[in-house]
Structure 1
Amino acid sequence: MMVFESATTPKASTSVSGSSAPPETQRSSSGSRHSRSKKMIIRRRSSRGIGTGSIMSLKPTTSQSTLSSSPSECHLESTHETGPSQSLRGKKLIQILSEEAGGTARQIEDESFYHGFMSDDECKSLLTNAGDFLIRRTEIEGEMQYVVTVLPENSKEITNFVIRKTRSKHLYYVYKYAFKTISDLIAYHKRMKKPLNVENVCIVRGIGRSDWQLAHEQIERNRKLGEGAFGEVWEGTLNLGVFRGSIPVAVKILHSANISKDERIKFLREANVMLKLNHPNIIKFYGVATLKDPIMIVMELASGGSLLARVQNTKRPPTEMDKIRYCAEASSGLAYLETVQIIHRDIAARNCLLSADDEIKLSDFGLSLLGINYRERSMKNVPVRWLSPETLKHGYFSSKTDVWSFGITIWEIYSGGQEPYAEVEDNKELRRGVIDQRLKICSPFGMPPMMQQIMFSCLAYDPENRPTFRELNAKLSAIRSNTISHIKFSSKIKGLFGF
């Protein structure tokens, strides 16, 4: 084992950088002879800076090391199972060789307990027993760092330990021991039950990745479909393995350059919401790839494009039956969200996709939240033309504000995909007009009375007077069934009389 001093003392949830300059060494002539294996002790001078100070050297005794003030020396001594003492302002590191550490993976991505980029909230749900741990990436002071996240004994809160790297030898360490790889670091601390700090926090069980946590190598990008402020959308292929083959998918890719920690979390919020969902009218979620950059979200490919593009198609416009079906299928997916208490917050024709069979698939859960209601303090970059009066006035969001947005979506379907309130260009004026009830949506030309009634019930000014999605779905499903029956009856009549 190689023992050397580090210029800094790492602490949980901090991001102080690694060790000091390379040590000066000399061999002591007073090394004792033992039949046990030897170890090299290298003592370094400390460097000035935050959390640094003078480093005290060690002299071994029969049972433990004691502190002295020798500034820099190197000598051989017999190996005893006593680690170096740690001063309050500096520390010494013991290098553990790979063959002694017991790690098996060269790359951290190969370890099952490595989860890539992950937020604290996600970690809390995974670590349930004392000693449970995982490795993740997170941004600390503008730099991506590897972190050991542990649930300590007798605690309900997770603790984070930044994995630092020495400057001279590029060794990884958390507390007393330094290693060539992170895999070695984890294997040694787990096997030898070595604590990660002075509070004796130990790692016991590594929490493995789930099936939906994908490797980048599983994803193949084929054709770019679009690009937004934070990323791109691609048509691609997901490799599920030798026996399951591959499937066509849509891949959302986060731009890796100049992206903050908060923006990464917002991007992955969509995946966190979709992970909880399972409904035929909601786009299917396959997984995320967060082990390295760029971060990707992989989901079902809706090859029919957006509902907005479909209703804007004048060469092949949707039939009356199509329009009713679109509304009924969308309300079915939204009724499901209502039961699992998820507020979508961005319901619009552009965010309803179509499968190859022309079936509605609700998508774009980037703004979605789990809960019954929510108040947004900042109303920047919100879809103003689809928002309810109480949202525009107070920032309130609920299932009933989603109902309002659905009413606007019905209007889009029957207007041929026009922009709501197109006559008002200024969003501030639009906001005041909706709040003051000076601006109201009118029914599009040719809209059936029964659909007008449903649309206007969604656009009731008082949210308490709006129907639930369960009620809307029941009404729209009944209208759809009646329309199908009417079409079949009309076809029979035409057949009988030869029309």
Structure 2
Amino acid sequence: MFPRVILKEMMIKKSQQKKIVSPCNYKERVFVLDTQELKYSECRPGKKPMLKGCIPLFRIKCVEIVFCDVPIPCNYKYPFQVFHDNHYLYIFAPDNDCRQRWVRALKEETKNNNLVSKYHPNFWMDGKWRCCQQADKLAAGCHVYYPEGEASKKPLPKLPDSKMELHNSGQLTVIALQDYAPANNDDIPLVKDEEYILIDSNHADWWAVQNGQGAIGFVPSTYVAEKSVKNFERFEWYNKNINRGEAETLLKNEDREGAFMVRDSSQAGVFTVSVFAKALGSNGERTPSVKHYQIRQTQTGKAAFYLAENYLFNTIPQLIHYHQHNAAGLITRLRHPVSRDGGCSQELADLSQDQWQVNPTELVLGQELGTGQFGRVLEGRWRENKVAVKMVIEGCMSEEDFKEEAKVMMQLSHCKLVQLYGVCTQRSPLCLVFEFMDNGCLTDYLRARKGRLSADQLLGMCLDVSEGMMYLESSNFIHRDLAARNCLVSKNNEVKVSDFGMTRFVFDDQYTSSQCSKFPVKWSAPEVIRYCKFSSKSDIWSFGVLMWEVFTEGRLPYEHLSNAEVVEMLNKGLRLQKPRLAPHSVHILMEWCWKEKPDDRPSFSLLLHEIGSLGHVKQPIC
């Protein structure tokens, strides 16, 4: 079967300079990407193109845009990089749309390779990396690499006229809230957390800034924040001249968990975060209340803002951005910005959109498949398709929590995750409609086939789960409840990760539960048990337990111990014993997952590579 051609285009290639004496040159080449290789050829008038290079896709470790802060000496000005076999191939596209198209396609074809965890966003030039000044060409990257690309990013507004007169803003300093790759000659790159001088802020969408090398250009105004404490009017969470009583009235009227605002405090130059939550009282009932947190500044050293002392930020927008996704000491996450004029902003995806809303008249419910903490799962049919319907048990999950779960599922799409087809909010109880997995949960599947599954088949199941979890990890999601019972098996015996009811999106790879809600002790890492601190590394611990479940054919971990005895055992440094069916190499991976310190545990991308290298298991197919 011949490989399918995905893209074909004329672009410019920079010489790879594999030897120190190799010349630096730029040549036009016809690039062809198919399902197996990236090839480039020289065009010869009247003759067949001459193949000049061929890179098998499985050798590619990174594909990313290059943030360029130097003049580009060729006609095409939009560079991107392909890192393979310890070599960097720099390709220059004629426009940004072309560059984005190639980067997205290459990332899609290589996202399950043995990828780098970090990359260099700038060029290797004059014997060093321009981004981090490291002098070793194979030095580890300085920015986190995300294999999923940028296909879904909201388009930015049109750049202002390059002839627009700039008005000096008085040497104010701004800090980049996130990276930004320029798409035109008039804008410049941003590197997250680096400082820039604000030159002009008169345009609503684009500000002119100066970087450390003296280059001046436009950047999106929402990508930077002033280091000084002022000019918050452009943020939807800021309410000027609202006192404590007015804030409480507005937030209570919204009656939404995590509704919040930032307002001026009674003390000049100080700001307060007011947030609405329904706290669980001693009688077991939830009482509505508004908590007020003063934003404080450190008194010594570099100025920093905080609500909880362990979480310091250079700017107030950075602080709010963080706590919108992590409670970290607050009564709840800052979920829904509230303003005096506009009420509560619609942060959640619009669940009434046609592509997500399931018409209840089209949904036919069948027998019950199982029951979980938050709802029942029923077999169903929707538009002639067999589906699984998760129905929320009334009183066990609020509509807000339901929408949170739906929002998470809508953002995730991978062949090793159980896919959400739609939601049904026009009936009670609320429903989520998923793809149907014929062979049920992994625990039951293993127990029903005890003694009939080979070591390679068991390892293949672990490989499936690690693929899905690597996708979550690369997307900055943590699962928090990974176990064999929360993985499902398709009719093709493919294992997929399910049940994202406890999932959280995090920016610093850590989530601290605000109320330390219940969690499965026998699958939980020590830092979860002791401090309620979740991260992708606590998911790694749970994955090690899941591997143990697989190679014991569905046994319950620590089956004869109580939760308290498990905690005591872990505190003594003891771990689950090697399953009889697990090869020594597999048991080593389990023990790696169960390292005491989270930083000593592997990443899912590394685990995926290690599992794939063992035995004769199927290779990743997504």
Q: TM-score range by the shorter chain?
A: 0.5 to 0.7
Deviation at 1:321?
1.6
1:255 matched to 2:393: yes
Q: 1:219 to 1:472 in 2, by over 3 A?
A: same
Q: Which has the higher contact order (CA 8 A, sep 6+)?
A: 1
Q: In 2, Cα distance between the equivalents of 1:208 and 1:468?
A: 37
Q: Tell me, what secondary structure is at the counterpart of 1:305?
A: coil
Q: In 2, Cα distance between the equivalents of 1:357 and 1:433?
A: 39
Contact 2:460–2:617 (Cα < 8 Å) also in 1: no
Q: In 2, Cα distance between the equivalents of 1:250 and 1:391?
A: 31
Which residue of 558, 582, 585 maps to 1:447?
A: 582
Q: 1:273 to 1:155 in 2, by over 3 A?
A: same
Deviation at 1:121?
7.8
Q: What residue number does 2:569 align with? A: 433
Q: What residue number does 1:215 align with? A: 359
The one-letter amino acid of 2:412's match is L
Q: What residue number does 1:238 align with? A: 382
Q: In 1, Cα distance between the equivalents of 2:355 and 2:544?
A: 38
> What are the equivalent positions in structure 2 for 1:160-309 lying under 5 Å apart?
209-239=353-383, 246-256=384-394, 259=395, 263-309=398-444
1:349 matched to 2:511: no
Deviation at 1:432?
3.0
> What are the equivalent positions in structure 2 for 1:32-431 lying under 5 Å apart?
158=344, 209-239=353-383, 246-256=384-394, 259=395, 263-314=398-449, 317-371=452-506, 372-424=509-561, 426-431=562-567
Q: Tell me, what secondary structure is at the counterpart of 2:355?
A: coil
The one-letter amino acid of 2:591's match is F
Deviation at 1:151?
10
The one-letter amino acid of 2:563's match is N
Q: Tell me, what secondary structure is at the counterpart of 1:338?
A: helix
Q: In 1, Cα distance between the equivalents of 2:351 and 2:385?
A: 28
**Quick one: percent identity of the two aligned structures?**
30
Contact 2:438–2:490 (Cα < 8 Å) also in 1: yes
Q: What residue number does 1:103 align with? A: none
Q: 1:207 to 1:237 in 2, by over 3 A?
A: closer
Q: Tell me, what secondary structure is at the counterpart of 2:381?
A: strand
Q: In 2, Cα distance between the equivalents of 1:327 and 1:318?
A: 13
Deviation at 1:382?
1.2
Q: 1:208 to 1:408 in 2, by over 3 A?
A: closer
Q: Tell me, what secondary structure is at the counterpart of 1:419?
A: coil
CA RMSD of aligned residues (A): 3.4
Q: 1:479 to 1:316 in 2, by over 3 A?
A: same
- The one-character-per-residue Cα deviations of 1:337-384 (angstroms, maximum 9, x if unpaired) are 001111100110111100110001100111111112111244443111
Q: In 2, Cα distance between the equivalents of 1:388 and 1:207?
A: 35
The one-letter amino acid of 1:217's match is T
Q: In 2, Cα distance between the equivalents of 1:304 and 1:158?
A: 43
Deviation at 1:429?
2.7
Which residue of 440, 449, 472 maps to 2:607?
A: 472
The one-letter amino acid of 2:550's match is I
Q: TM-score, normalised by structure 2?
A: 0.43
Deviation at 1:440?
1.2
Q: Tell me, what secondary structure is at the counterpart of 1:332?
A: helix
Contact 1:400–1:463 (Cα < 8 Å) also in 2: yes
1:458 matched to 2:593: yes
- The one-character-per-residue Cα deviations of 1:52-79 (angstroms, maximum 9, x if unpaired) are xxxxxxxxxxxxxxxxxxxxxxxxxxxx
Deviation at 1:229?
4.4
Q: In 1, Cα distance between the equivalents of 2:540 and 2:373?
A: 27
Q: In 1, Cα distance between the equivalents of 2:375 and 2:547?
A: 29
Q: 1:211 to 1:447 in 2, by over 3 A?
A: same
Contact 2:464–2:494 (Cα < 8 Å) also in 1: yes
Deviation at 1:268?
3.9
Deviation at 1:312?
1.3
Contact 2:482–2:539 (Cα < 8 Å) also in 1: yes
Q: 1:151 to 1:464 in 2, by over 3 A?
A: closer
Q: 1:411 to 1:315 in 2, by over 3 A?
A: closer
Deviation at 1:454?
1.1
Q: 1:484 to 1:409 in 2, by over 3 A?
A: closer
Contact 2:522–2:557 (Cα < 8 Å) also in 1: yes
The one-letter amino acid of 1:248's match is K
Tell which structure's C-alpha radius of gyration is larger.
1
Q: In 2, Cα distance between the equivalents of 1:279 and 1:357?
A: 16
Deviation at 1:313?
2.3
More strand per residue: 1 or 2? 2
Number of matched residues?
Answer: 290
Q: Tell me, what secondary structure is at the counterpart of 2:448?
A: coil
What residue ranges of structure 2 are gaps of 5+ in the alignment? 1-254, 262-277, 279-284, 287-335
Deviation at 1:250?
0.1
More helix per residue: 1 or 2? 1
Q: In 2, Cα distance between the equivalents of 1:449 and 1:308?
A: 23
Q: 1:291 to 1:315 in 2, by over 3 A?
A: same
Q: Tell me, what secondary structure is at the counterpart of 1:401?
A: helix
Deviation at 1:305?
1.0
The one-letter amino acid of 1:403's match is I
Deviation at 1:317?
2.7
Contact 1:404–1:458 (Cα < 8 Å) also in 2: yes
Contact 1:323–1:413 (Cα < 8 Å) also in 2: yes
Q: In 1, Cα distance between the equivalents of 2:498 and 2:423?
A: 16
Q: In 2, Cα distance between the equivalents of 1:427 and 1:209?
A: 44
Contact 1:310–1:317 (Cα < 8 Å) also in 2: no
Q: Tell me, what secondary structure is at the counterpart of 2:405?
A: helix
The one-letter amino acid of 1:367's match is M
Contact 1:288–1:298 (Cα < 8 Å) also in 2: yes
Q: In 2, Cα distance between the equivalents of 1:397 and 1:415?
A: 26
Contact 1:311–1:317 (Cα < 8 Å) also in 2: no
Deviation at 1:456?
0.9
Q: In 1, Cα distance between the equivalents of 2:423 and 2:484?
A: 25
Q: What residue number does 2:50 align with? A: none
